[in-house]
Chain A
Amino acid sequence: MKMSKRAVLLIACILIVSMLGVMFTGCGKKETPDKTTPSGDQGTTTEQPGKEDQEEFAFPLKEPVKFTMLYRDHPAYPYKEDWILWDEIKKRTNVELELTIVPMSDYEQKRNLLISTGEAPEIVPSTYPGQEVSFIPSGAIIPVSDYLHLMPNFSRQIEEWNLQEDIKTIKQKDGKFYVLPGLREVAVAEYSLAIRTDIFEKHNIPIPESWNDLYEALKKLKELYPNIYPFSDRWKGDALLNFASLSFGVQGGWGAGNGIYYYRDKDEFGFYPITDDYKEMLKYFNKLVKEGLMDPESFIQEDEIAVNQKFATGKSFVISTNTQEIISMRNKMKETLGEGNFKVDMLPPLEGPKGRVISGSRLDNGIVITKKALDNPNFEALMRFVDWLWYSEEGQILTRWGVEGVTYKRSGDKFELLPGVKAGYLGINVDDENAKDLRNDFGMGNGVFMFSLYNGHKHLMYSYMIEEAKNFVQKANELCTLLPPAPPVLMDEIEREEANVLSQSLMDYVKQMTLQFITGKADIDKEWDTFVQECKAKGADRLVQMTNEVYQKTKDILK
């Protein structure tokens, strides 16, 4: 019996060898129908004889050029190849973008895969600072800071808008940066609380200015409406903790990060979740939940329930929002409560123990350029093209408002859509059923090209806001102090790997306990010390020590 096993092994070997033969002939056959499909042969079509004179570089280029780009396809405005955006870009620059289309649902994953395998297109937008770092050691993406001389608009804005400090935060140990972030002329508080102003006014409840005012207001509301939770939040509380934490001198929610907080006065880093400041914030929200003022479901419920079934139907009066969401909430409430039966406003950031604070960071997500671009004979044109489309005023007007005389008309800083054009996402001309949509039908207002709503030239940003959002932004900037961005901690690959593993378990625990303290599942007075001890046992001290060591060692690099 044993003998036959050996024999079989032999057969297997023979088979495998013969298979290899079949494999190659087989593959050859399968390949033939593929030949017609594009597989990265771009660049061969473009030849640019003698285009060296940099001084006279101007769009449109004399010869047509193709650049490849990764495109994030948003389900709310699905990609269309007949958008006039593409024609306009072609017309004004003689550049044709060859897109790799990726559904937004998993954009990040495909981007990482493509860059990792070296199969990514040349231009890769929609990438957040921090997401690029893992591609730096291998050289898969280029240090864009080496090519700023090709990017006049970008460079000028950094200069004129005083963004040097912000840019410093994305620099790496070699003093270079690898992502081109979207730049904001003014800092903007994106998120804040929305309240049912009509209810507040009806009962003579003063509009809250601070977190304590909010507590008092909610208490009154609870007396008046004992059967509901006046405050029921969305986004699982992540937005709330994010903006609230700033005024408590900590971080939280979406911005929880790795638990490290920069203490400017001491010029060192600390682990914020174990500070008294953090405890104070938890106690505040725990008080809201304990007294029935805040819905404990705030931290788990789906947005649809929080917004559609609670806030929009008058079952709660306070909710987190942003300048965009408030428009869509109102639209919903017109359906549920009826026009004129409600009034919703966005509160400026509330005052906490550390005052009224908003994040002063003025960088958005950005663009990385893969090393493939360096092989493109038109590399210089590519960088200039990126600079033009994403950073120049002309480019930004095109991607926001479209084409003068076709989609909009302009008088001074005022942009107005032409008749027959609407912008549902901005709430302009929404009622015109037959109008074409600026975003869905023309291709403007696209997150891929705008970075964010708050991006770019101030006047353009404001032009894209309804009056109320404008007021909100201006008021917030008047009232609040800007928290400057923390200086970068220039870890190398191995240090970063260790810090990440450490902070992952640590922050899992912090998040878990944060919610348990707030919802009262854990008693904050009794269990706080255990929590602090546990954080330390999970490596909080090690993380702080490591961060400070690296920081002290490297902070002079960027000076």
Chain B
Amino acid sequence: MGSTKRKNISVFDVINVIIMLFVVVVTLYPFLYLTALSMSSEKYVYEGSITFYPKGFTLGTYKVLLKDNYFWTSYRNTIIYTVLGTLISLTLTVLLAYPLSKKNLKGRGIFLGFILFTMFFGGGLIPTYLLVSRMLQMRNTIWAVIIPGAISTYNVLVTKTFFEGIPDELEEAAAIDGMNTYGILVKIVLPLSKPILATMSLFYAVGIWNNWFGPFIYLDDKKLFPVSLYLRNIIAGAQKAREVVGGDVEGFGDIEATIKSASMVVSALPIIMVYPFLQKYFVKGIMIGSLKG
């Protein structure tokens, strides 16, 4: 039965492919729509006649966007924040999750409680702001963007669960060979954890890439703004202000739908391009052979 597996295409497979195609169509559509919108001329956008493909094709909006110096600066900032932040976040998460995955570690319960508590109780915005801004003097620096929110408890718990699934024998064997804990973590555990490391990198990276609130409260200098802030202002700026203010025209000026969609496309593109690269670890990470050693 096992040998004929490849040629055997069952009804299930057919249905499965159909379902998957459905998912593809439904999820791809809005992105297609946005891209089409961003490349269409305004006339057709006003009419609402854009459906799948651009009408009155133009790259004008992209030109406008890419001409803006602050757009490039913010793009560069985002890349720096994301790369550095992901590294720091990932390191801290592993450092925390690994010991906690050891069920016989004394005090594990207390440490877990210590971090779980923070999922529900927090001091609120003002004390946190004062801490970062006044006590730590991090305001208006890259560190304020990266450090305060570096660890996600949620991600720690998921990583911990993954570590728990790694068979103990491997680590025990290494310990008998005289390897210390650090060695075991780096040389044995991490290589086996590529799927979760890739996933967590992605989660953190996307989180930092899209995070606007931290940069928003801690950064005062436009030269340090990440692309998320830039984008948020373009998409929600004029609209939001009107809501709050109640129709005063002091902040007049609207942003065209084409610019909005173009900036969304441009800002989401890199992370979408990085994903397939990370994804190969999901496949490679299947631990073929590693258990036999």
| B-contacting 9-mer, from A68-76, A376-384, A402-410, A532-540 | A68-76
Least CB separation from B43: chain A residue: A335
Stretch from B151-159, B202-210, B252-260 at the A interface:
B252-260
Considering residues B225, B232, B248, which has the most beta carbons from chain A within 10 angstroms of its beta carbon?
Answer: B248
- If the complex has contacts A8-B106, A447-B252, A453-B250, are A309 and B140 also in contact, measured as CB distance less than 8 A? no
Q: Which residues of A contact B137 (CB under 8 A)?
A: 31, 34, 39
B140/A37 in contact, CB under 8 A: yes
Q: Are B251 and A447 in contact (CB under 8 A)?
A: yes
Picked from A119, A322, A425, A451, the residue with its CB within 8 Å of the CB of B134 is A119
- Give the distance to chain B from A58, nearest Cβ to Cβ, in Å: 30
B247 with A235: CB separation less than 8 A: yes
With A30-B147, A75-B255, A335-B46 as contacts: A104 and B134 at CB distance below 8 Å: no
Kindly provide the distance from the CB of B125 to the nearest chain A CB, expressed in whole angstroms.
6
Question: Which of A5, A105, A108 sits near B232, CB closer than 8 Å?
Answer: A105
Residues of A within 8 Å of B133, CB to CB, are 39, 117, 119
Q: A37-B141, A105-B233, A447-B252 are in contact. Are A27 and B247 (CB under 8 A)?
A: no
Which residues 124-153 of A sit at the B interface, judged by CB distance below 8 A?
126, 128
C-beta contact mask, A448-469 vs B, less than 8 Å → 1, else 0? 0011111100000000000000
Q: Is the CB of B237 within 8 A of A104?
A: yes
User: Which of A107, A235, A425 has the largest count of B CB atoms less than 10 A from its CB?
Assistant: A107
For A117, list chain B residues within 8 Å (CB).
126, 129-130, 133-134
Q: Which of B43, B46, B133 has the most CB of A within 10 A?
A: B46
Q: Is the CB of A255 within 8 A of B45?
A: no
Q: Which residues of A contact B110 (CB under 8 A)?
A: 8-9, 12
A78–B45 Cα distance when bound, in Å, is 24
Q: Is there an interface contact between B253 and A77, defined as CB atoms closer than 8 Å?
A: yes
Using A117-B126, A117-B130, A119-B134 as known contacts, say yes or no to A104 and B252 having CB atoms under 8 A apart: no
Q: Count the A-B residue pairs with Cβ separation under 8 angstroms: how many?
A: 177
Chain A interface category by residue count? 35 or more
User: What chain B residues lie within 8 Å of A78 (beta carbons)?
Assistant: 68, 70, 233
28 A-B interface contacts by CB (under 8 A): A4-B106, A5-B109, A8-B107, A8-B110, A9-B110, A72-B251, A74-B238, A75-B237, A76-B252, A76-B254, A76-B255, A78-B70, A79-B222, A100-B220, A101-B220, A102-B220, A103-B233, A104-B238, A116-B126, A119-B129, A119-B133, A235-B247, A303-B239, A309-B46, A313-B46, A332-B46, A450-B250, A453-B250
A residues engaging B (CB < 8 A)? 4-5, 7-9, 11-12, 27, 30-31, 33-34, 37-39, 72-79, 99-108, 110, 113, 116-117, 119, 126, 128, 182, 190-191, 235, 238-239, 242, 253-255, 303-305, 308-309, 312-313, 322-324, 328, 332, 335-336, 364-365, 425, 447, 450-455
Name 6 extra pairs, CB < 8 A, besides A12-B107, A113-B129. A74-B253, A76-B253, A101-B221, A103-B230, A235-B247, A309-B46
